[in-house]
Structure 1
Amino acid sequence: MRKLKSDSDQTCTVAFQQALDDLSVVGNWELDAAIGQARADALVAMLFGVDPQDAQAGLPLASFINGIHPDDRQRVSDQIYQAVQQGSPYVSE
């Protein structure tokens, strides 16, 4: 997750993550695997650090993957690829 800055220029990822954990929110996104492009709602766009309008119009999947913590990117990419190959849903928390 990308770090957000407060007015005092301090990172506020802990408070943001706590707020997300307390909300039990669900975002929506869909992947067109044939062209490697994903479309997402504003919540998903915010979580992955992409422009909400661009996310709604569609972006390369890599744009969303880049918003994932570097330690988790390969695992998530592999899980998405496996779901596409098997024709199964991709579900993740």
Structure 2
Amino acid sequence: MQSGIRDRCVADGVRMIAQPYDRNSTTLLDDIENLVDATHVDGLILTPPVSDYPQVLDLLQRRGVRFVRVSPGSALELAPSTFIDNAAAAAT
């Protein structure tokens, strides 16, 4: 997934920063907020399971940070979303 995103960013002249997080960390919200503050990102791509964490979604909405959710399971109206065809992806 990162490779495809990177290729698209390069084609569009956009810089991509990949930042892994521990979804079980007690500092997850602080870590994301610190990333937003330090980098002034234009937007985030949220992958599962973080794409369904209400606290993360609320934080980004309050901060006015644009985001796209990959394969969200709920609240589809919150932000643009994309879904993965797992069967097709496994076949390639």
TM range (shorter): under 0.3
TM-score, structure 2 length as denominator? 0.27
